[in-house]
Amino acid sequence: MASLFKQFRVHQVFGANTNVGKTILTTGLVRASAQKGKDVFYLKPVSTGPLTDADDYHITRYTKGFAKSVHAECLFRYDEPVSPHLAVKLKGNITGDSTPPSDDTVVSSIANRIREHAMNSPRYSHMYVETAGGVHSPALSGTSQADCYRPLFLPTILIGDSNLGGISSTISSYESLLLRGYTVDAVLLFHEEYYQNAEYLKPYFEERGIFVSTVERPPSILPDPSENFASTEKYYTSITASGDGLGRVVDHLDTCHEKRLQELESMPRRALDSIWWPFVQHGLVQGEKDVTVIDSAYSDFFSITNKNLTSESVSKDSILQPQFDGSASWWTQTFGHAHPALTHAAARASGRYGHVMFPQAVHLPALKLAERLVKDGPGKGWASRAFISDNGSTGMEVALKMALRAYTVRHGQDLSNDQKKSLGILGLKGSYHGDTIGAMDACEEGVYTCEWHDAKGYWLDPPTVGIKDAEVSIDIPASLASFSQSNTVKAKSLPWVYDVEDRLHTPLARAYGLYIDRALASVQQRGGPKLAALVLEPLLMGAGGMLFVDPLFQRVLIDTVRGRRSGKSSSWSGMPVIFDEVFVGLHRIGIESSGPILGVHPDISVNAKILTGGLLPLAVTLASQSIFEAFLGDSKGEALLHGHSYTAHPIGCEVANETLALVDKLAASEEWAAAKANWAEGEKNSIWSLWDPNFVNAVSKLPQVKEAMAMGSVLSIKVQDDSAGYVSHSAQELFRSLKLVSQEDGQLSTAPGGAPFSIHYRTLGDVAYFMTSLNTKATVIRSVEDKIWKTLANV
Amino acid sequence: MASLFKQFRVHQVFGANTNVGKTILTTGLVRASAQKGKDVFYLKPVSTGPLTDADDYHITRYTKGFAKSVHAECLFRYDEPVSPHLAVKLKGNITGDSTPPSDDTVVSSIANRIREHAMNSPRYSHMYVETAGGVHSPALSGTSQADCYRPLFLPTILIGDSNLGGISSTISSYESLLLRGYTVDAVLLFHEEYYQNAEYLKPYFEERGIFVSTVERPPSILPDPSENFASTEKYYTSITASGDGLGRVVDHLDTCHEKRLQELESMPRRALDSIWWPFVQHGLVQGEKDVTVIDSAYSDFFSITNKNLTSESVSKDSILQPQFDGSASWWTQTFGHAHPALTHAAARASGRYGHVMFPQAVHLPALKLAERLVKDGPGKGWASRAFISDNGSTGMEVALKMALRAYTVRHGQDLSNDQKKSLGILGLKGSYHGDTIGAMDACEEGVYTCEWHDAKGYWLDPPTVGIKDAEVSIDIPASLASFSQSNTVKAKSLPWVYDVEDRLHTPLARAYGLYIDRALASVQQRGGPKLAALVLEPLLMGAGGMLFVDPLFQRVLIDTVRGRRSGKSSSWSGMPVIFDEVFVGLHRIGIESSGPILGVHPDISVNAKILTGGLLPLAVTLASQSIFEAFLGDSKGEALLHGHSYTAHPIGCEVANETLALVDKLAASEEWAAAKANWAEGEKNSIWSLWDPNFVNAVSKLPQVKEAMAMGSVLSIKVQDDSAGYVSHSAQELFRSLKLVSQEDGQLSTAPGGAPFSIHYRTLGDVAYFMTSLNTKATVIRSVEDKIWKTLANV
């Protein structure tokens, strides 16, 4: 991940093409830095071509006059003048290994060199990392360099192309860097009288806030070596003359570095002065130390400013450190941050459409998304329509409007106006369906609700599944215990718990049914609200405290409210059933949707979060044909009059389509197969997790842990705490040390680049949860498990 | 705009660089098409370099054997072998004009040639448009070709680079095309044994669904002209051999063309089968003809499928036609569709962050946005904090939660729990604050509301401003008329109406004050709700029917509820005042915010829509320090517990920052100065419009028009209608012919490319409105005014 040092400025040099003067201009920069009295480090990660032509050979030759202050090295050298991935194939690695190093190894090697030099530099120094070929020339593994080096997120110098066609290759290269979020501090290129590329590129880049400098072309190569050396030396002297040329560029790069440091330093104060955060009690934010500055993000890690710098360490340690995004950025991350395929999808749709009007219109991204979800996704087998909105909360409001109308159309003649306004939701205690007021009204009153909250409905006590002392049990709430004759039901295994069909005729199922019947009858007797929709977060209730509901209970509840459906009818019966799969859907908990486990389909369901791969907001509400038909008529007033300006924005839809395609690949991957195998018992493996079952079991045995549970990418640890609830700080306290960077005793960490990392996590009162992306590497998860284990074991 | 013909396939050829074989491979494609018996058209928009090297000269030479079926031409020729914009400077145009043609002219010329050839072709034909240099090589005007030709949105062939560094330049060029939304149908490049670029690029592009084909390199140029001709001819024969090589590419391009046509044809049916549209009564959608297929969009125009093709015209007319986006895609468009700067902003943020967690964290895009809005935007002078959410409706829910809490904290001890739950909003009849249930509860019951709607508050009748018979008047509602002693107040001029300060002591202001006092007293007497917040859409209420409220009335109302503020206090007084500027804010109606016109600041305000330039959803709720402090405490339960997963998503924030910077430039532009001058009267010109005042006045004189009005980018025309209201179809009927393409009698239209266009517009019952982007060209607006005029005059 990104590193940044107060006393050590590092830039990477990318070329707009081969033969644009990258080596010459980098050599010039090194000399210009040395001339300013700096120690200068030159690193060529990969060099190809004969040794005498090699960049680091060249730089050694032409910085001899500054031998004391210039340190040049190459990490991997190949003698074929082709792109690095091909050089590996053609000639093998002349520096050692015969198999090419992985991207991780290359990145860690570079990061290590930077760290070492930075720590050992007695004073402010400069470093230049020169890449090979063009921005997308393949690295040793075959990955494009722009992608391969992205974890390091080094500030960038782009060497422009002064040849015919060079305007195009320079701008395209810049756009490729931009697509990966790189900050380009300067564009340098040769001055060329005839093509005048610089005259075009200077205003182009300056309009975008990027510094451009031109340098005279080098002299022609002379046949006599010593004459050639002299002429080249003279050239370097001229282009690095202080006050002008590359000397001015070096000053500019120093200014950029200084600004970067100042900006990062100023951000906490400025944030405290202008931002109102969601779900944050600003009165408890004690000051700048409590603000996390996220400079960039990549894969499963944030790059954040180091909060533990002391006055001694500040000149040596990196200002930036990796932090594992342990909440998957509020349950959104799917492939980690800044995945190039999602950026491509967003750019593609933005370039083709921007946003376009949706009512009675159609564009390909929205159409493909609707078809995918309805016919070949969570809606398969029951849904007929997709209604698109902006986020999970609005998606749920749409779902509620659908259900209320469907109920009213069928039963309207029996309802007074007041009854229509107070139609109730049947749900479970601990439900949460989003933050807008209508979605909140489908839940009980609680700490999240606002003045206008009006709990419209009735909520049952759900039994929940958990692991304690490595044993699976179902926790039966008090109100239900009289029916089940027990407060806890031991389960054979997790797969057994999730084999709902197999459990339908157990005594527990009958107890559930009795409890539900009795509760519903009592609502009616007490003159409670007319219940018009069953709203469930299937299997796992998130914001309510990571409650893993016994799926059997939800199944019995659905069967109960639906009663006996009439023969062939696919119409909703009893009351419309809404699945709020905003959090659990699309493989967050290892399955695309919960229907197959529960053995029943909803009439309405909502997807969001993973839907757009963790990039930007979008939600889809799916509905069955019988729900859709409740809104059909010949008056506009009867239509579903809900729509946001950016409904079905093409960027969101295109990113969603890309996400679903990538998730499909993951679902068929060896990584998932291996994780599933860990959790399988015999034939049964409907539920599984990326977390290790042995780790989960071990954690569940600890005295300070009340219960643990894992499904898909979610790990939940409930701590022993007498004062539970959302406002409890017990879990927050127990895991506090995870927010500090733990030293790895010289070992490389599993973060890209290998720097030690901290862990960002979120708690819900007495529950701490940890959530990965769907493609987080097993090695990363193992190292996170290690850190969690050490934190718990130290208590 | 894009054109697409059933019997005429057109592809543009872009090169990954100069000297990659673009001319040779295009010539090969032309020959391969001819060999398949097609008529082939070759167009080189701009040719540079000596005539004997010119591409069209080359193609003429090497397609002589197919002279009957191959037609080659060049539109602009310059004899300097440099990029076109430079060729213009260096040598002037040898084909005629001395000033270089504009992008519009170049694009129209190409579009015209395509249309002419397509219409005159007796059978299925092919056309290849060969660009110059690389994708970003400048066109004649200096605009990059990838940008310049974007309005045509031609399917694309990318000629890859087989030289050293060519992997990088090919992928970067592809990414530049992708950023503009182009569909790349094929990548062609020379086979090169040593660098093996094709071996790398084939899987790269195939993974992205793009066809790749390699072709042998051409033979070396021979000194003897006839030998050279023979050897080149032989080469062309070999690479175009049917069944292989370019013959297979041509088949593939035909398949792509066929698929494109089939896809467009299938989309209406598929949309009708899977999509549930917002605000659409599906029962009134009669079939495929009622579905607008948007294939792409650019600037102010959609590219939609032509609904008026007959069985005769289908083989000659373009399947795609431009349609003016006359609702600014539901009030969102700011710089037109697919503006490259916004795509860049989105890509940049996606590449750097993806999305990252926001609570207690900060990233640059969000910080800059908050600071800009609070300190140097609509919040200037009063706001202290920015709270970010996902869309206008959620932004308003956040505003309501803020106001309700602030009121409750101050007056809580006097309120029962029931009173807190039923705290009321003071507003105006016709208000609309978004589609979520809580935002709807801040409005009266109406056609938009759902079963759960509970109108919480009291709404006053507002006087409105309009132009009839070229005179400005204020329409006084009946309930207010007894105070003003008149139903209509003639106004001197529009600037006079909007000079609120000047009108504060008029009799009308006193009448407004009396009416408001009396109404508020009566709410209290009748035991109405405790009013806790004043919520206004300042100046213009959008969804309620484009009601231009008399600003004096809103000012008097605010002054009344606030009473006399205590000396220096900046705390809210009376009740918090919320400005819902979701629609009107950020220059939609010509001013950044309405505070300066009303002469007062709100305590809370909301921006969305234009905020993100018409690309994707985001909203910001601004609050004063005294509102913020109502949530401060030492318990998390007292915080503002509202937040969406994608809160402050970096893409949205970065796009918003780019938008605000671009709007600042527009605000200082000559175009706006000219429009403002049209509307100024003496010193006064606080309000103005991009629409022509003479046009608005003329429309207001028509008998079928009840009233017209324009502000900023908004034009509103209220039609005479006895049955007004949202469900009325009168305006929809009156303007129906705008949805048809009107032929321009051989004239080029103002749509890019010059094809005749239709107009998409939206109505609100008896009101039709037309909305431009903030940068829509005056020439385009004039042509839209013409069409509106003709439609009205024909009635």
Closest CA to A586 of A615, A551, A552, A620: A620
- How far are the Cα atoms of A209, A439, B397, B436 from residue B643, in angstroms, in the given order? 33, 13, 11, 15
For residues B205-223, average pLDDT: 95
Q: Enumerate the residues of chain A whose CB falls inside 8 A of the CB of residue B142.
A: 200
Q: Enumerate the residues of chain B whose CB falls inside 8 A of the CB of residue A336.
A: 354
Q: Give me the DSSP letters along B540-578.
A: EE-TTT-EEB-HHHHHHHHHHHH-SPPTT--S--SS-EE
**A:B CB pairs within 8 Å:** 608
Strands A540-541 and A547-548: antiparallel
Residue A95 pLDDT grade (very low, low, confident, very high; cuts 50, 70, 90): low
Residue B49 pLDDT grade (very low, low, confident, very high; cuts 50, 70, 90): confident
Residue B753, phi-psi category: left (phi > 0), alpha (psi -120 to 50), beta (remainder):
left
Q: Which residue has the higher pLDDT, A117 or B84?
A: A117
Write out the two tokens for B698.
Answer: 């003329």
Kindly calculate the radius of gyration of chain B based on its CA atoms and give it in whole angstroms: 30
Q: Helix-strand-coil percent breakdown of chain B, rounded to 5?
A: 40, 20, 40
For residue B131, pLDDT over 90 is answered with yes
* Residue type at position A332: T
The string of pLDDT tens digits covering residues B599-616 is: 999 999 999 999 999 999
Residue A684 pLDDT grade (very low, low, confident, very high; cuts 50, 70, 90): low
pLDDT value of position A90: 73
Residue from B355, B581, B665, B775 whose CB has the most chain A CBs within 10 Å, to mutate: B355
Residue B108 pLDDT grade (very low, low, confident, very high; cuts 50, 70, 90): very high
Residue A338 pLDDT grade (very low, low, confident, very high; cuts 50, 70, 90): very high
For residue A372, pLDDT over 60 is answered with yes
Question: Do residues B582 and B608 touch, judged by C-beta distance below 8 A?
Answer: yes
Selected residues 326-345 of chain B with any CB under 8 Å from a CB in chain A? 327, 329-333, 336-340, 342-344
Give the Cα separation of A339 and B573 in Å (integer): 49
Give the Cα separation of A632 and A637 in Å (integer): 10
Nearest CA to CA, how far is B152 from chain A (Å)? 11
pLDDT value of position B740: 87
Q: Which position has the token pair 């007695």?
A: A122
Pick the CATH number of B352-460+515-667 from 3.30.870.10, 3.40.640.10, 1.20.1440.230, 3.40.50.720: 3.40.640.10
Strands B471-475 and B488-490: antiparallel
- How far are the Cα atoms of A70, B11, B114, B664 from residue A203, in angstroms, in the given order? 34, 32, 34, 19
Residue B721 pLDDT grade (very low, low, confident, very high; cuts 50, 70, 90): confident
Do the chains contact at A291 and B360, CB–CB below 8 Å? yes
For this complex, say whether ipTM is above 0.95: yes
Topology of domain B672-794 in CATH is: Aspartate Aminotransferase, domain 1 (3.90.1150)
Question: Do residues A575 and A470 touch, judged by C-beta distance below 8 A?
Answer: no
Q: Which residue has the higher pLDDT, B663 or A56?
A: B663
How much is the mean pLDDT over chain B? 93
| Residue B678 CA to its chain's centroid (Å) | 25
For residue B215, pLDDT over 80 is answered with yes
Q: Residue B45: in which H helix or E strand, if any?
A: strand B39-48
* Residue type at position B624: S
Closest CA to A647 of A398, A358, A351: A358
Lowest mean pLDDT among A672-686, B228-242, B389-403: A672-686
Cα of first residue to Cα of last residue in chain B, in angstroms, is 30
Question: Do residues B91 and B24 touch, judged by C-beta distance below 8 A?
Answer: no
The string of pLDDT tens digits covering residues A657-669 is: 999 999 999 999 9
Write out the two tokens for B639.
Answer: 């915080």
pLDDT value of position B456: 95
Q: From the CB of residue B259, how many other CB atoms can be counted at a distance below 10 Å?
A: 11
Residue A723 pLDDT grade (very low, low, confident, very high; cuts 50, 70, 90): low
Residues 6+ apart with CB under 8 A from B362: A267, A268, A270, A271, A275, A291, A292, A293, A294
pLDDT value of position B605: 98
B175 reaches A (C-beta below 8 A): yes
Give the Cα separation of A241 and A238 in Å (integer): 5
Write out the two tokens for B144.
Answer: 């990059």
Q: Which residues pair with A12 in a beta bridge?
A: A129, A156
10 Å CB burial of residue A286 (0-12, 13-18, 19+) is exposed
A690 reaches B (C-beta below 8 A): no
For residues A284-304, average pLDDT: 97
Q: Which position has the token pair 């370097």?
A: A236
- How far are the Cα atoms of A294, A735, A739, A763, A785 from residue A325, in angstroms, in the given order? 11, 15, 11, 13, 14
Strands B361-362 and A292-298: parallel
Give the Cα separation of B183 and B172 in Å (integer): 15
Do the chains contact at A270 and B371, CB–CB below 8 Å? yes
User: Is the C-alpha dihedral spanning A332, A337, A342, A348 positive or negative?
Assistant: positive
The string of pLDDT tens digits covering residues A98-147 is: 677 899 999 999 999 999 999 999 999 999 999 999 999 999 999 999 99
On the CB side of B617, CA atoms within 13 Å amount to 31
Residue B731 pLDDT grade (very low, low, confident, very high; cuts 50, 70, 90): confident
Phi first, then psi: what are they for B408, rounded to 5°? -70, -40
pLDDT value of position B758: 96
Q: What is the pTM of this model?
A: 0.97
B453 reaches A (C-beta below 8 A): yes
Phi first, then psi: what are they for B46, rounded to 5°? -135, 130
- For chain B, what percent of residues have pLDDT higher than 90? 84
Give the Cα separation of B347 and A350 in Å (integer): 9
Closest CA to B502 of B684, B687, B712: B684
10 Å CB burial of residue A191 (0-12, 13-18, 19+) is middle
Closest CA to B543 of B583, B576, B494: B583
Closest CA to A264 of A183, A178, A210, A343: A183
Q: Residue B89: in which H helix or E strand, if any?
A: helix B84-91
Residue B91 pLDDT grade (very low, low, confident, very high; cuts 50, 70, 90): low
Strands A156-159 and A211-215: unpaired
What 3-state class would DSSP assign to A235?
A: helix
Q: What is the number of residues in chain B?
A: 795
The string of pLDDT tens digits covering residues A545-585 is: 999 999 999 999 999 999 965 555 689 999 999 999 999 99
For residue A487, pLDDT over 70 is answered with yes
A269 reaches B (C-beta below 8 A): no
pLDDT value of position A671: 97
Closest CA to B395 of B440, B427, B433, B365: B433
Q: Which residues pair with A645 in a beta bridge?
A: none
Give the Cα separation of B453 and B441 in Å (integer): 6
Residue B733 pLDDT grade (very low, low, confident, very high; cuts 50, 70, 90): confident
Pick the CATH number of B8-261 from 3.40.50.720, 3.40.50.2000, 3.40.50.300, 3.30.540.10: 3.40.50.300
For residues B141-158, average pLDDT: 97
Question: Do residues A137 and A83 touch, judged by C-beta distance below 8 A?
Answer: yes
For residues A627-647, average pLDDT: 96
* Residue type at position B270: R
Residue from A333, A531, A645, A770 whose CB has the most chain B CBs within 10 Å, to mutate: A645
- How far are the Cα atoms of B30, B39, B248 from residue B239, in angstroms, in the given order? 12, 19, 10
The string of pLDDT tens digits covering residues B522-562 is: 999 999 899 999 999 999 999 999 999 999 999 999 999 99
For residues B26-47, average pLDDT: 95
CB-nearest partner of B641 from A82, A351, A448: A448
For residue A632, pLDDT over 60 is answered with yes
Selected residues 57-96 of chain A with any CB under 8 Å from a CB in chain B? 81-83, 85-86
Question: Do residues A436 and A393 touch, judged by C-beta distance below 8 A?
Answer: yes
* Residue type at position B65: G
List, edge to edge, every strand of the sheet that includes A762-764. A488-490, A471-475, A464-468, A705-711, A714-719, A767-771, A762-764
For residue A448, pLDDT over 70 is answered with yes
The string of pLDDT tens digits covering residues B663-685 is: 999 999 999 999 999 998 876 66
pLDDT value of position A91: 62
Write out the two tokens for B389.
Answer: 């959410």
pLDDT value of position B724: 56
Closest CA to B561 of B577, B550, B574, B579: B574
Give the Cα separation of A11 and A155 in Å (integer): 5
Do the chains contact at B360 and A285, CB–CB below 8 Å? yes
pLDDT value of position A580: 98
For residue B53, pLDDT over 80 is answered with no
For residue B398, pLDDT over 80 is answered with yes
For residues B4-16, average pLDDT: 97
Helices and strands (H, E) in chain A, number of each type: 27, 28
- For chain B, what percent of residues have pLDDT higher than 70? 96
Domain ranges of chain B: 8-261, 352-460+515-667, 672-794
Question: Do residues B676 and B631 touch, judged by C-beta distance below 8 A?
Answer: no
Give the Cα separation of B263 and B268 in Å (integer): 10
Residue from B91, B192, B360 whose CB has the most chain A CBs within 10 Å, to mutate: B360
Q: From the CB of residue B298, how many other CB atoms can be counted at a distance below 10 Å?
A: 27
For residues A292-315, average pLDDT: 91
Q: Which position has the token pair 């297929």?
A: B293
